[in-house]
Amino acid sequence: MPPVDFVARVSPPREPAAAPPLLVLLHGIGADENDLLPLARAQGRPVLVCPGPAEVQEARERFGAALVLEGVGLGTYAALLAEAALMISNDTGPGHMAAAVQAPLLSVLGPTHPGHWRAWGPTVHLLGGLGHWPEREAVLAAARSRLAAAR
């Protein structure tokens, strides 16, 4: 295998990447496309929704103007998360995956105890928990702030 500096010198430059996407999970986030699409699009970011098999219809109804990716495998999901500008999720496996790949994560918790179930990591921002879901405006304000920081 050639040395890394050789590869860097002979590799063609990469095209500038499009703006990283905003990824969204459905349940408990307290917002829908009317809230989130304008936030993302104001920065030229696509919005991706990766629903589970039982969430496809809801995803199409709530986020019809977003790119809804059905049947995404875990490896692909992790790769999408690693490139995301922001992941908004409740207490789910993909939220924990986002934390594991250090994607900026807005973790929206409701009745669960954050000390037991929260995602951990330097890129995780928690909202709600301990028996209450956060208000819709709190989710949107945190999303605005996190997306602005991702520029």
Predicted confidence (pLDDT) per residue in 102-126, tens digit: 999 999 888 888 888 889 999 999 9
Instruction: Give the range of the structural domain holding residue 54, as residue numbers without chain letter.
Output: 17-117+142-149
Supply the CATH number for residue 83's domain.
Answer: 3.40.50.2000
**In this predicted model, what pLDDT tens digit does every residue of 40-77 receive, in sequence order?**
777 778 888 888 888 888 888 887 778 888 898 999 98
In a domain, 137, yes or no: no
Count of CB atoms within 10 A of residue 21's CB? Answer: 20
Alpha carbon distances (Å) from 137 to 1, 9, 134, 143:
52, 48, 8, 10
In a domain, 43, yes or no: yes
In a domain, 71, yes or no: yes
In a domain, 82, yes or no: yes
| Bridge partners of residue 67, in order along the sequence | 48
33 confidence band (pLDDT: 50, 70, 90): low
In a domain, 3, yes or no: no
In a domain, 42, yes or no: yes
Where do we find the tokens 């809801």? 58
Where do we find the tokens 């790119």? 67
Residue 11 carries which side chain, given as an amino acid letter?
Answer: S
